[in-house]
Structure 1
Amino acid sequence: MNIALLGYGRMGKSIEAIALTRNHSISLKITDATDTYDFSTTDVAIDFSVPTAAVSNIKKALDAGVPVISGTTGWLEHYRDILEYCNSKNGTFLYASNFSLGVNIFFEINKRLSELIANFPEYAIDMEEIHHTKKLDAPSGTAITLAEQIIDNTNYKKWTLDKANADEIHIEAKRIPDVPGTHEITYNSDIDAISIKHTAHNRQGFAMGAVIAAEWIKDKKGVFTMQDVLQINV
């Protein structure tokens, strides 16, 4: 399979290394918006760029009839527009805030725990996420996914980076050198606390998940999630 890398930073390089070990080829590497987007030999595009480039990258791949998966965060105010654009092109698109198998299992644990805790308002929820200092957006897309899952299952109304009101989930976003990604959710009451935590040791899990998603999405049509790829809760 020939893979286009839309974004060739640390994640792009990690994806390239994994893809080559799985006998794939890299057909295109985009490092700058002025680069030439030649998708003529590409089977699947993987976008790990920056928030300001993601929408354009995704649309260019869809315009070329190339399935595209994106792990870029910070652009999700345009997510609905991208879904409509994909459908209008009869294209193929998959977005995930995190491609790690472990994180996607963590998502399922978080959903179930938030369902259980919904009947016990004495538990207040706090979240913390830690990433490397080069991560441009805060909170992380993974943290937003986790918070939105909780909001869907409880009486919480929104998340905030600021001091939280009673109906808001506070997310503490920290940036520390060389931290691939840590997410912790704590349900705290006067008598006890329940915490769940995922810690990434390196970027290999993210890169492997992205390549597996690219392998899975090739020759499919429609809009998908990592739940589809990993057959979790489907």
Structure 2
Amino acid sequence: MKIALLGYGKMGQTIEKIALERGHEIVIKTNEEEGYDINQADVAIDFSVPKAAFFNIAKCLKLGVPVISGTTGWLDNYEHAIKLCKENNGAFIYASNFSLGVNIFFELNKHLAKMMSQLKQYHVSIEEIHHTEKLDAPSGTAITLAEGIISQHDEYNKWLLNQNKKQTIPITAKRIANVPGTHSIEYKSNTDTINITHTAHTREGFALGAVVAAEWILGKTGVFSMKDVLNIG
């Protein structure tokens, strides 16, 4: 499989390592929006920056190259990307987090939220910790977790960053050097606390998930998620 890496920072370099180990070829690796021929690739993996992500995704979809995107912070254009995918009979996966373990954690989070929705004495909060190079806050993963809770729990209707208001899920975002990513959900009452946490030890878990998704999407058309890739939920 010939892969284009759109975004060649630390994450892109880790994806390259995993892809080569799995027998794939990297034909493009770039941090630029222009100057590359995407038609060289069988599939593109975008881990760029928020301002470049939609440009990269749109270019791939218009030219018929399946694209996997793990860039967060660009989702104002997500519906436009879906429209382009359908108009061009393309193939697209966006995930706020490609880690196989995190995608299991997403499902666990929703299942717990459904159970806790009957227990109004518990109040939920989310904390996420990432490396200091992460540009957006809260993380896309934390937002996905919050949205998962909201979908299962009628007590909450939105999330807020570093604020605690009625019917909202407060998200605390911390930036600490050399932390790949930690996400914790806490349900707290006057009598006890329930926590679930996912802790990434390296970037390789995210990279492996992205390469697995790229392998899976070849030959398919449509808009997919990691739930489709992993056949969970």
TM over 0.5: yes
How far apart are residue 37 of structure 1 and its match?
A: 2.2
How far apart are residue 54 of structure 1 and its match?
A: 0.4
Q: Flag structure 2 segments of 5+ consecutive residues without an equivalent.
A: none
Provide the C-alpha distance between the structure 1 equivalents of 2:46 and 2:224, rounded to a whole number of angstroms.
15
Contact 2:39/2:65 (CA < 8 Å) preserved in 1? no
Provide the C-alpha distance between the structure 1 equivalents of 2:226 and 2:37, rounded to a whole number of angstroms.
27
CA RMSD of aligned residues (A): 0.8
Q: Percent identity?
A: 60
Count of residue correspondences = 232
Q: Which moved more, 1:184-193 or 1:72-81?
A: 72-81
Query: 1:87-106, aligned counterparts within 5 Å?
Result: 87-106=86-105
Calculate the TM-score normalised by the size of structure 2.
0.98
Provide the C-alpha distance between the structure 1 equivalents of 2:84 and 2:175, rounded to a whole number of angstroms.
34
Amino acid at match of 2:37: D
How far apart are residue 166 of structure 1 and its match?
A: 1.7
Query: 1:152-163, aligned counterparts within 5 Å?
Result: 152-154=151-153, 155-163=155-163
Q: Flag structure 1 segments of 5+ consecutive residues without an equivalent.
A: none
Provide the C-alpha distance between the structure 2 equivalents of 1:152 and 1:63, rounded to a whole number of angstroms.
33
Aligned residue number for residue 142 of structure 1: 141
Provide the C-alpha distance between the structure 1 equivalents of 2:231 and 2:36, rounded to a whole number of angstroms.
32
Contact 2:163/2:171 (CA < 8 Å) preserved in 1? no
Q: Which moved more, 1:16-25 or 1:161-170?
A: 161-170
How far apart are residue 41 of structure 1 and its match?
A: 2.0
How far apart are residue 31 of structure 1 and its match?
A: 1.2
Secondary structure of the structure 2 residue equivalent to 1:211: helix
Amino acid at match of 1:44: V
Query: 1:22-33, aligned counterparts within 5 Å?
Result: 22-33=22-33
Provide the C-alpha distance between the structure 1 equivalents of 2:136 and 2:38, rounded to a whole number of angstroms.
28
Provide the C-alpha distance between the structure 1 equivalents of 2:170 and 2:118, rounded to a whole number of angstroms.
20
Secondary structure of the structure 2 residue equivalent to 1:194: strand
Deviation digits for residues 98-145 of structure 1 (CA, Å, limit 9, x no counterpart): 111110110111000000000111100111000000000000000000
Deviation >3 Å, runs of 4+:
none
Provide the C-alpha distance between the structure 1 equivalents of 2:175 and 2:61, rounded to a whole number of angstroms.
33
Query: 1:148-187, aligned counterparts within 5 Å?
Result: 148-154=147-153, 155-187=155-187
Aligned residue number for residue 191 of structure 1: 191
Query: 1:54-133, aligned counterparts within 5 Å?
Result: 54-133=53-132
Amino acid at match of 1:230: L
Calculate the TM-score normalised by the size of structure 1.
0.98
Amino acid at match of 1:227: K
